[in-house]
Amino acid sequence: MSNQEKEIKNFVFNYTDGTSKTVEKGFFCHIKDEPNGESTLSFEFAGVSGKDLTQIVLGCVELGARLGMFDKKESEEISE
């Protein structure tokens, strides 16, 4: 794989109680705070196919909806 990006095999989550969990299929979003106050997001995927990307995006939109992030009244209050 010298000319290609390395593929991620899995993600390992280490919990504060000393246990860990290995995830073979999913995605991770890394948030980097920039000096100008903005943030840069980078996404890493393990074992994800094209069909899975649709599920990921729709799931994130559903999460936003459940959190009320697309509620027009709330977004108007934020912009005031």
* Domain-located, residue 6: no
Q: Which domain holds residue 20?
A: 11-67
- What tens digit of pLDDT does each residue of 22-65 get? 999 999 999 999 999 999 999 999 999 999 999 999 999 999 99
Which residues lie below 8 Å from residue 23, measured CB to CB, with a gap of 6+? 10, 11, 12, 13, 46
* Domain-located, residue 63: yes
For the chain, what is the domain count? 1
* Residue 11 pLDDT > 70: yes
* Domain-located, residue 58: yes
* Domain-located, residue 2: no
- Asked if residues 42 and 27 have their Cβ atoms less than 8 Å apart, the reply is no
Per-residue pLDDT band at 15 (split at 50, 70, 90): very high
Q: Which stretches within the chain are classed as H helix?
A: 50-66, 72-79
- Asked if residues 39 and 45 have their Cβ atoms less than 8 Å apart, the reply is no
* Domain-located, residue 80: no
